[in-house]
Amino acid sequence: MSDIDIRKVVQEELNNIAPEIDLASVDPDADLREAIDIDSMDFLNFVTALHRRTGIDIPELDYPKLATLSGTVAYLDAKLKSGKA
Amino acid sequence: MPSLGPDMEAGTLVEWLVKPGDRVKRGDVVAVVDTQKGAIEVEIYQPGQIEKILVDLDTKVPVGTPLAELREEGERLPAAAAAPKPPTTPAVAPTAPPAGPAPVRMQAPAVAAAPMTAAGGRASPAARRLAEAQGVDLSTIAGSGPGGAIIYADVEQRIGKTVAVAGKRPAPSLNLAAMRTAIAVAMARSKREIPHYYLEHQVDVTACEQWLTQKNATRPPDNRLLIGALAVKAVALAARRFPAFNGFYRDNKFEPAPAVHVGIAITIRGGGLAAPALHDADQLPLDELMGRMRDLVQRMRAGRIRSSELSDPTITTSSLGERGVEALYGIIYPPQVAIVGFGKVMARPWVVDGAIGPRSIVTTTLSGDHRVTDGHAGALFLAEIGKLLQEPDKL
């Protein structure tokens, strides 16, 4: 788990939901749901996939922290590091 | 060839999953047809033995064309065609025939992607398509479906990593242009034939939100519930209590449906829309309803849906979810007679027990068919949905 590339995981899972979107063109600070047009079911699938791949528990209360691409990566990075510490 | 909506005129047979001599039971997927709504897994509605295949692969035939002959249990002569429905009753024949067994049993358990008895290897059509698209040899996969059949999830699991890394999915078999044509036909017919009336009701869903927060706090993402599941359940329960909103208008009269199969409007990226049935939604515990809804949405978006799911809805719900706007006024999908819309949840000042406070409010709407009901009955029905949402633990 230590060498897990969070950014890559996040991008892959978003790509699974929105294959036609070029994530490189998405503003990392834009609201993800608006930027790539995902609904609550997509978002739940996204969180489920992140949980499955990283083992990180992502409670609903933390959903606001996953509002943007950069926020999601920062959140998961921090969780992974604190998990190892 | 089953009719999978008022808009469908023909379909192309792309895969046979049975051969003469095969025994089939109710709910088995026997063939795959390509339609405007993607590749549809055609289920059979009578148990028996396949006598003869009547339509060859890659042949396009009009709706109503018999696909195969079926010998019914205990019969010596071939019975009527195995086509799941006669041509004169578009869109609804698969719903329980009046004399048929309990509709609950009409559908094979929806847990597996496609339980089936396939000729020449046991694998669901969805699994076959995925395997073919990904170049995976099915004989190298252990099936986890009924009787060891290989289901979609098995193939997905095998190629999961590869697909994710490559950043692409198997191309959905959905043709969005064809789907738009189908929507246009159905909606134009609806506006032409159905005298709609519209009602609106603002519902306080604070209790639902609090209940969900509490429920979901201790659950892994896989088991979390969405408010949409509560909405569907509430509509289903209300539809059972108000049967005039649950059924079909055909041949100048309304036929209430014996079961409640709620059509879930699902948007498809790129501009598609379909509303397949969540069968017996009124009977499902919330967790199961949520699981099936997730499965239904995923399969619809991936272009692998079953014939009964397209033809069975007895009432439809459409929800804007967390984004969008406050209200949605649906157009009834013929031959249904009602559609319930849910707008986005809004934080609003609200009077509760004589004091104003912030509450979460959803605007619910009902589009009803005036040939069957009036605004008065519609108001009672819509209000019932609002009432049911006040006690989420009872849903």
Q: Residue B162: its pLDDT value, please?
A: 38
Task: Decide: B36 and B183 in contact? Cβ < 8 Å.
Answer: no
Q: Minimal Cα distance from A34: which residue of B?
A: B323
Q: Residue B248: its pLDDT value, please?
A: 97
Which tens digits make up the pLDDT trace of B70-112?
Answer: 888 766 554 444 444 443 333 333 333 333 333 332 233 322 3
Q: Minimal Cα distance from A8: which residue of B?
A: B165
Which tens digits make up the pLDDT trace of A52-63?
Answer: 999 998 999 999
Question: Looking at the partner chain, which of A12, A20, A33 has a beta carbon nearest the beta carbon of B269?
Answer: A20
Task: Decide: B128 and B141 in contact? Cβ < 8 Å.
Answer: no
Contacts of A33 in chain B (CB under 8 A): 322-323
Task: Decide: B322 and A33 in contact? Cβ < 8 Å.
Answer: yes
Question: Looking at the partner chain, which of B213, B217, B297 has a beta carbon nearest the beta carbon of A41?
Answer: B297
Distance separating alpha carbons of residues A74 and A59, to the nearest angstrom: 16
Sign of CA dihedral B79, B81, B87, B89: positive
Which tens digits make up the pLDDT trace of B222-241?
Answer: 999 999 999 999 999 999 99
Which tens digits make up the pLDDT trace of B245-291?
Answer: 999 999 999 999 999 999 999 999 888 899 999 999 999 999 999 99
Yes or no, beta carbons of A60 and B323 under 8 Å apart: no
pTM of the model: 0.73
Which homologous superfamily is A6-84 in? Answer: ACP-like (1.10.1200.10)
* C-alpha distance from A56 to closest chain B C-alpha (Å): 10
* C-alpha distance from B213 to closest chain A C-alpha (Å): 8
Select the more confidently predicted residue: B319 or B128. Answer: B319
Contacts of A41 in chain B (CB under 8 A): 226, 228, 293-294, 297, 321
What number of H helices and E strands is found in chain A? 4, 0
- Structural domain boundaries in chain A: 6-84
CB atoms within 10 A of CB A66: 21
Q: Minimal Cα distance from B222: which residue of A?
A: A48
Helix (H, G, I), strand (E, B) or coil at A67: coil
The number of residues in chain B equals 395
Whether residue B185 is predicted with pLDDT greater than 60 in this model: the reply is yes
Q: How far is CA B9 from the centre of its chain?
A: 20
Select the more confidently predicted residue: B324 or B360. Answer: B360
Q: What is the ipTM of this complex?
A: 0.90
Whether B213 has its CB under 8 Å from any CB of chain A: the answer is: yes
Mean pLDDT of chain B: 82
Q: Which domains does chain B have, with CATH numbers?
A: 10-166 (2.40.50.100), 178-394 (3.30.559.10)
Question: Looking at the partner chain, which of B169, B213, B267 has a beta carbon nearest the beta carbon of A60?
Answer: B213
Q: Minimal Cα distance from A62: which residue of B?
A: B217
Select the more confidently predicted residue: A2 or B272. Answer: B272
Whether residue B139 is predicted with pLDDT greater than 70 in this model: the reply is no
Tokens 């009803």, residue? Answer: B368
Yes or no, beta carbons of B222 and A16 under 8 Å apart: no
Distance separating alpha carbons of residues B31 and B29, to the nearest angstrom: 6
CB atoms within 10 A of CB A52: 14
- pLDDT band (50, 70, 90) for residue B316: very high
Is the N-terminal amide bond of B335 cis, ω within 30° of 0? yes
